[in-house]
Amino acid sequence: MAEDVFTTKSGTVRGRRAARDHGIVVVRGLPYAAPPFGALRFREPQPPDPWDGVRDCAAFGPVAPQSAELPGAPVWSPGDEDILTLNIWTPADGPGDLPVLVWIHGGAYVFGSSAQPDFDGTALAGEGLVVVTLNSRLGFEGFGHVPDGCDRAVFPDNRGLLDQIAALRWVRDNIAAFGGSPDRVTLAGQSSGATSVACLAVADRARGLFRRAVLHSAVNAFATQEQAARTTAEVAAEAGVPATRAGLLATPPEALVAATDRVCARYAQDPAAGQRHYDPAIYGPVADGVLLTADPLEALAVGAGGAVELLVCHTTEEYWLLDAVGSSAKITTEEQLAVFAADFGLPVSLVEGHRERLPDAPVPDVHLALHSGLLFAEYSARLAEAHARAGGRAFLARFDRRRDRTGRRVRAWHCADIPFAFGNLHEESVQFLVGGPPGEADEELSRRMTGAWAEFAAHGDPGWEPLDGSARSGGAVRVWRTAAEGPAGGAASGVRDGFRDLWRTAGLPLLAP
């Protein structure tokens, strides 16, 4: 690793020392596949072109087409095409053969990037890991169904997932040059990134590319080809183009991004729109019969996860974040709550049970508790339990830190756990998520969570017992909170365990984006 220069199969690259820790080398914006535009648009990812000389990898690569502008991260501009890149954090003087953690960001399959400050890998690399973060195609470019009877082998669904597989293959073929072991890869992600990880855990094409998986707040969303085709028709109509292969190929990415935003906005404004009114995310993995044949929960239940070991976590107040940032419909009356339940096919008993366990809560909080379980918490827990019942090794955790350093209540909501696990609590961009600057108790919790990820990636043991494969997870759940908030071990989250009992009785509908 002399002079922070590394040789890959495509060429030589130069990294930089991390600002926070000069013992860590960072390589940013390294292409793992060719730009997926022009003749390669809507196609499987292809290998990157090789280069001569030393490629300077000091800056993150362009983000995938999207309209989001996230704190501290670059924005996409039309014409940015070299979007299939990854970043590596590695100990400068590491012994080699280190465990590798590959991270897939969340963002409802339509926004986000590996350049977000939340995902800086310095602290995890300091724990003895080689950390890889990546960009992949999003929105229509990554998950839109290309119709017109075309050959699915030429214009496949799930292009975003195929990009992720291409990145994993790049890691297999090149990570040893950065001190990592291609045989000790853990794939990790949060929200849509966690569901992407779950999909790859059950996909034959990803078999053998990673041995462990970390899933934080996996999202309950999986489409049939018919549902994906209807979404394409809506987006094409909004863009004013034919919903055909030729029509879509002739439409620039920025037009499909804008059309997607308008379709989502229309659903958000229409209370009669059914499920999409409440959380208008319209893209996600597709049961294409090629890469994926079933929802990951169903696939794990019949043993499709094989020997992959799972570490699954969710937060205890997931959906409160989506409400706070205005990306969810407001449910303020009993009548609206009843319509919400009916639109998702939730039994009245489930609503009544939540109300009984939250006797003093207003209607919006009952809705948010229901939606948290429906979209994230219950689905995540069931992924771990299904894998364990099928004979796999799985660990389950909940993030329940709800006090800041002044004692003020903060939410254990969606995304709040990730800065703790990455060790990035001091980043300005995460202060809203975690309730302000961290105190010592938060720092200590972060060290425990970062250490659990590192130990799981290295040895398959995050520090507590795996699920035993029974119908109930019982005391095998790790509860993440500060020492002042109570013990970490055991099923110690009170009313939230009651929510689990309600869902076990009511069942969990599998949702489509």
Structure tokens at 158: 């799930």
| Whether 5 contacts 175, CB under 8 Å | no
| 414 is a catalytic site residue | yes
Query: What DSSP line would sit under 149-190, residue for residue?
Result: T--TTTS-S-HHHHHHHHHHHHHHHHGGGGTEEEEEEEEEEE
Q: How far apart are CA 282 and CA 296, in angstroms?
A: 18
Beta-bridge mates of residue 90: 25
Residue with tokens 């292809």: 46
Alpha carbons within 13 A on the beta-carbon side of 51: 17
In 263-323, the DSSP E strands lie at 286-287, 309-315
> Parallel, antiparallel, or unpaired for β 16-17 and 85-91?
unpaired
> Parallel, antiparallel, or unpaired for β 16-17 and 98-104?
unpaired
Beta-bridge mates of residue 286: 223
State whether the Cα torsion 132-135-137-138 is positive or negative: positive
Q: Which of 127, 141, 234, 318 is catalytic?
A: 318
Q: Which of 314, 371, 414, 473 is catalytic?
A: 414
Q: How far apart are CA 447 and CA 91, in angstroms?
A: 18
In this structure, the chain runs to a length of 513
Q: Exposure string (b/e) for 456-476, b if CB count within 10 Å is 16 or more?
A: bbbebebebebbebeeebeeb
| 191 is a catalytic site residue | yes
CA dihedral defined by 460, 465, 471, 473, rounded to 10 degrees?
A: -110
Beta-bridge mates of residue 79: none
| Whether 394 contacts 466, CB under 8 Å | yes
| 181 is a catalytic site residue | no
Query: What DSSP line would sit under 461-474, residue for residue?
Result: --SSPPP-SSSS-G
Q: Which of 10, 113, 191, 372 is catalytic?
A: 191
Supply φ then ψ for residue 60, to 5 degrees.
Answer: -65, 150
> Parallel, antiparallel, or unpaired for β 5-7 and 12-14?
antiparallel
3-class state of residue 211 by DSSP: coil
Catalytic residues: 191, 318, 414
